[in-house]
Amino acid sequence: MKIVLMQTLNKKQLNAAARMLSDSLPNGWPTLKDALDEINQLLKSENNYMIAAINKDIVLSWAGILEPIYNGNVVELHPLVVKSDFRGQGIGKALVLNLENEARNRGCLTIYLGSDDESALGETSLANADLYDDLPTHIKNFKPGTHPSGFYLNMGYKIIGVMPDANGIGKPDIIFGKRLK
Protein backbone atom coordinates (compact mmCIF):
# COMPACT_ATOMS: atom_id res chain seq x y z
CA MET A 1 0.00 0.00 0.00
CA LYS A 2 1.22 3.51 -0.69
CA ILE A 3 -0.11 6.91 0.21
CA VAL A 4 -0.38 9.38 -2.67
CA LEU A 5 -1.76 12.85 -3.24
CA MET A 6 -5.32 12.64 -4.54
CA GLN A 7 -4.40 15.00 -7.36
CA THR A 8 -2.45 12.07 -8.89
CA LEU A 9 -5.52 9.79 -9.12
CA ASN A 10 -7.09 9.14 -12.51
CA LYS A 11 -10.78 9.56 -13.29
CA LYS A 12 -11.62 5.92 -12.57
CA GLN A 13 -9.87 6.10 -9.19
CA LEU A 14 -11.63 9.36 -8.30
CA ASN A 15 -14.93 7.68 -9.16
CA ALA A 16 -14.04 4.79 -6.86
CA ALA A 17 -13.16 7.26 -4.10
CA ALA A 18 -16.53 8.98 -4.57
CA ARG A 19 -18.42 5.67 -4.49
CA MET A 20 -16.60 4.77 -1.25
CA LEU A 21 -17.67 8.06 0.33
CA SER A 22 -21.29 7.73 -0.71
CA ASP A 23 -21.49 4.05 0.31
CA SER A 24 -19.85 4.69 3.70
CA LEU A 25 -21.52 7.97 4.68
CA PRO A 26 -24.83 8.04 2.78
CA ASN A 27 -26.38 10.61 5.12
CA GLY A 28 -23.73 13.13 4.12
CA TRP A 29 -23.42 12.16 0.45
CA PRO A 30 -26.54 10.28 -0.66
CA THR A 31 -25.56 9.96 -4.33
CA LEU A 32 -22.42 9.31 -6.32
CA LYS A 33 -22.82 12.78 -7.83
CA ASP A 34 -22.89 14.38 -4.36
CA ALA A 35 -19.67 12.56 -3.51
CA LEU A 36 -18.00 13.49 -6.81
CA ASP A 37 -18.97 17.14 -6.31
CA GLU A 38 -17.45 17.00 -2.82
CA ILE A 39 -14.17 15.59 -4.15
CA ASN A 40 -13.99 18.14 -6.96
CA GLN A 41 -14.64 20.93 -4.45
CA LEU A 42 -11.97 19.62 -2.07
CA LEU A 43 -9.41 19.31 -4.86
CA LYS A 44 -10.08 22.85 -6.07
CA SER A 45 -8.30 24.55 -3.18
CA GLU A 46 -4.55 24.03 -3.34
CA ASN A 47 -4.39 24.73 0.41
CA ASN A 48 -6.30 21.53 1.15
CA TYR A 49 -4.09 18.45 1.52
CA MET A 50 -5.89 15.39 0.16
CA ILE A 51 -4.38 11.92 0.20
CA ALA A 52 -5.37 8.41 -0.79
CA ALA A 53 -4.09 4.95 0.11
CA ILE A 54 -3.79 2.77 -2.97
CA ASN A 55 -2.69 -0.78 -3.62
CA LYS A 56 -2.09 -1.90 -7.22
CA ASP A 57 -4.08 1.13 -8.42
CA ILE A 58 -7.08 0.22 -6.22
CA VAL A 59 -8.16 3.07 -3.93
CA LEU A 60 -8.49 1.67 -0.39
CA SER A 61 -9.05 4.88 1.51
CA TRP A 62 -8.86 8.65 1.24
CA ALA A 63 -8.80 11.60 3.56
CA GLY A 64 -7.73 15.21 3.89
CA ILE A 65 -7.11 18.30 5.91
CA LEU A 66 -8.54 21.65 4.89
CA GLU A 67 -6.91 25.04 4.71
CA PRO A 68 -5.90 25.99 8.29
CA ILE A 69 -8.05 28.49 10.21
CA TYR A 70 -7.53 30.66 13.34
CA ASN A 71 -4.40 32.29 11.86
CA GLY A 72 -3.07 28.87 10.88
CA ASN A 73 -3.31 27.38 14.37
CA VAL A 74 -6.20 25.00 13.72
CA VAL A 75 -6.93 22.58 10.94
CA GLU A 76 -9.97 20.43 10.17
CA LEU A 77 -9.64 16.79 9.20
CA HIS A 78 -12.24 16.19 6.49
CA PRO A 79 -13.20 13.63 5.37
CA LEU A 80 -11.88 10.14 6.18
CA VAL A 81 -13.14 6.96 4.64
CA VAL A 82 -11.80 3.42 4.30
CA LYS A 83 -13.28 0.92 1.81
CA SER A 84 -15.56 -1.34 3.84
CA ASP A 85 -13.72 -4.62 3.17
CA PHE A 86 -10.35 -3.08 4.11
CA ARG A 87 -11.30 -1.69 7.52
CA GLY A 88 -9.57 -2.86 10.68
CA GLN A 89 -6.18 -3.21 8.98
CA GLY A 90 -4.57 0.02 10.15
CA ILE A 91 -5.28 1.99 6.96
CA GLY A 92 -7.36 4.70 8.64
CA LYS A 93 -4.68 5.07 11.29
CA ALA A 94 -1.93 5.41 8.64
CA LEU A 95 -3.82 8.17 6.84
CA VAL A 96 -4.64 10.08 10.02
CA LEU A 97 -0.99 9.93 11.16
CA ASN A 98 0.07 11.23 7.74
CA LEU A 99 -2.45 14.11 7.97
CA GLU A 100 -1.32 14.96 11.51
CA ASN A 101 2.31 15.09 10.33
CA GLU A 102 1.39 17.39 7.48
CA ALA A 103 -0.61 19.63 9.85
CA ARG A 104 2.36 19.74 12.25
CA ASN A 105 4.67 20.67 9.36
CA ARG A 106 2.29 23.48 8.49
CA GLY A 107 2.68 24.81 12.03
CA CYS A 108 -0.82 23.91 13.23
CA LEU A 109 -1.40 23.39 16.96
CA THR A 110 -4.79 21.67 16.89
CA ILE A 111 -6.42 19.21 14.52
CA TYR A 112 -10.16 18.71 14.84
CA LEU A 113 -13.09 17.04 13.13
CA GLY A 114 -16.82 16.69 13.43
CA SER A 115 -18.31 13.22 13.54
CA ASP A 116 -22.09 13.08 13.24
CA ASP A 117 -24.09 10.64 15.32
CA GLU A 118 -27.06 10.63 12.99
CA SER A 119 -28.32 7.07 12.54
CA ALA A 120 -31.98 6.44 13.29
CA LEU A 121 -31.46 5.09 16.83
CA GLY A 122 -28.15 6.83 17.53
CA GLU A 123 -24.89 5.02 18.19
CA THR A 124 -23.14 6.89 20.98
CA SER A 125 -24.24 7.84 24.48
CA LEU A 126 -24.65 11.45 23.25
CA ALA A 127 -27.51 10.49 20.92
CA ASN A 128 -30.97 11.26 22.26
CA ALA A 129 -29.49 12.83 25.40
CA ASP A 130 -30.27 16.32 26.69
CA LEU A 131 -26.95 17.94 25.90
CA TYR A 132 -28.05 21.22 27.48
CA ASP A 133 -28.19 19.47 30.85
CA ASP A 134 -24.74 18.94 32.43
CA LEU A 135 -22.77 18.49 29.20
CA PRO A 136 -19.44 17.88 31.03
CA THR A 137 -20.88 14.75 32.67
CA HIS A 138 -22.26 13.51 29.34
CA ILE A 139 -18.77 13.93 27.86
CA LYS A 140 -17.05 12.33 30.85
CA ASN A 141 -19.29 9.25 30.61
CA PHE A 142 -19.12 9.09 26.81
CA LYS A 143 -19.60 5.65 25.24
CA PRO A 144 -18.84 5.39 21.50
CA GLY A 145 -20.82 2.22 20.81
CA THR A 146 -20.48 1.26 17.13
CA HIS A 147 -19.72 4.84 16.04
CA PRO A 148 -16.35 5.87 14.46
CA SER A 149 -15.86 7.92 17.65
CA GLY A 150 -14.14 4.79 19.01
CA PHE A 151 -11.52 5.10 16.28
CA TYR A 152 -10.76 8.74 17.10
CA LEU A 153 -10.55 8.05 20.85
CA ASN A 154 -8.10 5.27 20.02
CA MET A 155 -6.06 7.78 17.98
CA GLY A 156 -5.76 10.11 20.98
CA TYR A 157 -8.54 12.54 20.09
CA LYS A 158 -10.74 14.03 22.84
CA ILE A 159 -14.25 15.39 22.68
CA ILE A 160 -13.83 19.17 22.64
CA GLY A 161 -17.43 20.05 21.90
CA VAL A 162 -20.79 18.95 20.64
CA MET A 163 -23.39 20.55 18.42
CA PRO A 164 -26.75 19.39 19.78
CA ASP A 165 -29.41 18.39 17.23
CA ALA A 166 -27.04 19.10 14.33
CA ASN A 167 -28.71 16.37 12.29
CA GLY A 168 -32.20 16.53 13.80
CA ILE A 169 -33.48 16.12 17.33
CA GLY A 170 -31.15 13.94 19.41
CA LYS A 171 -28.60 13.62 16.59
CA PRO A 172 -25.51 15.60 17.52
CA ASP A 173 -22.29 16.39 15.73
CA ILE A 174 -19.46 15.37 18.04
CA ILE A 175 -16.32 17.51 17.76
CA PHE A 176 -13.03 15.77 18.40
CA GLY A 177 -9.66 17.50 18.76
CA LYS A 178 -6.03 16.59 19.31
CA ARG A 179 -3.01 18.64 20.30
CA LEU A 180 -0.31 18.44 17.63
CA LYS A 181 2.73 19.80 19.48
Task: Enumerate binding residues for ligand COA (CB under 6 A).
Answer: 24-25, 80-82, 87-93, 113, 115, 144, 148, 150-151, 154
CB of 48 to ligand COA, least distance (A): 17
53 vs 129, which CB is nearer to ligand COA?
53
Distance of CA 80 to the CA centre of its chain: 4
CB of 80 to ligand COA, least distance (A): 5
CB of 133 to ligand COA, least distance (A): 25
**DSSP string for residues in 50-70:** EEEEEETTEEEEEEEEPPPBT
71 vs 117, which CB is nearer to ligand COA?
117
CB of 19 to ligand COA, least distance (A): 13
Q: 74-82 and 49-55: which strand pairing? A: unpaired
93 vs 134, which CB is nearer to ligand COA?
93
Distance CA 57, CA 174 (A): 34
Distance CA 54, CA 65 (A): 18
49 vs 62, which CB is nearer to ligand COA?
62
71 vs 84, which CB is nearer to ligand COA?
84
Q: Which of 7, 1, 13 is nearest to 59 (CA)?
A: 13
Distance CA 165, CA 110 (A): 25
CB of 89 to ligand COA, least distance (A): 5
